[in-house]
Amino acid sequence: MTTAAHTMTLLASLILFAGLGAFVWLALAWVARLAPRASLTMAGANAALVASVALHMSRGVLPDALTFWPGDVLAVASFALLGAAVSAITARHLAWKPGALVVAVAAVLLAAVPYGDDLRWQARVVSLASAGLTLGAGVGAWRALGSSGSWGSGRRTPAPLALPLFLIGTLLLVRAAETVLPSGGTPDLRVPGEFNRLFLWTALVLTLLQNATLAFLLLMRLILRIERLLERDPLTDTLNRRAFDQALAHAHAWLARGRRYALVMIDMDHFKQLNDTLGHAAGDAALRQLVAVLQPCMREVDRFGRLGGEEFCLLLPDTDIAGAALVAERMRALVEHTPLRWLEQDWPVSASFGLAEAEHGDADASAVLARADAALYRAKRQGRNVVQP
């Protein structure tokens, strides 16, 4: 195979694999209904890459006005769409405006530079704009994947999964730098040469790697969403009883290693009366408000679950009874001073709190839970809206 034929084969392979990627992402969007906006955006990124490379290969066959400028603009657009899709998958926000602005600026610059025998300026505009878009998407993905809680269950998704974006961005910067070097003279990908062959082989591998990585992240997002549905209370988005019992058992297992914990049992006062007076919709709103009011008092390591009805429990790792009392008193005051707004009126809300600290003599976590429950009933008997250790 001649060098020219080898280069054209690599370009055709890039079209084939990007086209296959577009088809797969369309299937994920329309058939599987998996993150449709992100999947359609990724399909668009692959399709724009296919169109760009196809127009590049058609230079000299089709009129220049249909191949040069449109092909270069589509190349930048493909990376803008890639960045938007990465944002939609990792941060769940389709950030398309920055990419659209970069494409518009690149289109104007490319229109201002005449196309002729020397295409180095065009290659620089396309490469630098595309590199900026890709590296920006990589930084955003790294931050989103490295932050806890963004993927549910307080997990951290490995940030190195954003590495293909940095590799693609670096490859594009190398291409831009190559046009500046005295030996550089291959801004047209059809021109046979060692640099173009290496560039196309690397681009082919990274195209496959980037599509596979994003598909993996999308699948992980689906799995985490299912896990979240299995462990969360659908009304309040707190842990359900099964998930809270698992967290409690885990905390009790650490008790033997010297890590204490405390429990705060919480029960909304006069909840049945509120339900009977205002209706179940108001009762649901009151429970959601209770959870929202209590959230600022919790640390990231704490676990908060709904045990049933209007009864909740807060697990405080590395906390003794005195620390739990401080947290509970702050919660009690916040609930008392946050009435429920319903039917254009403010309805008073309060809650009672029972505390217990784990002891080394406790056979299992149920003993600690029983003491916290008994303390809660004492608080109820004392007139409610109190904290009882």
- Residue 232 DSSP label: B
310 classed as catalytic: yes
Buried b (16+ CB within 10 A) or exposed e, 82-93: bbbbbbbbbbee
Element (H, E) at 345: strand 345-347
Alpha-carbon torsion (150, 154, 155, 156), positive or negative: positive
For tokens 């080898």, name the residue: 6
Cα–chain center distance at 153: 12
> Counting runs of H as helices and runs of E as strands, what totals does the chain give?
12, 7
Residue closest to 129 by CA, chosen among 111, 105, 162, 113: 105
Set 178, 231, 310, 357: catalytic member = 310
Give the 3-state secondary structure of 247-262: HHHHHHHHHCCCCCEE
From the list 299, 331, 303, 321, the residue with the least C-alpha distance to 372 is: 321
In this structure, are residues 303 and 153 in contact, taking their beta carbons and an 8 Å threshold?
Answer: no
In one-letter notation, the amino acid at residue 276 is: D
What token pair was written down for 115? Answer: 């196309």
Enumerate the active-site residues: 310
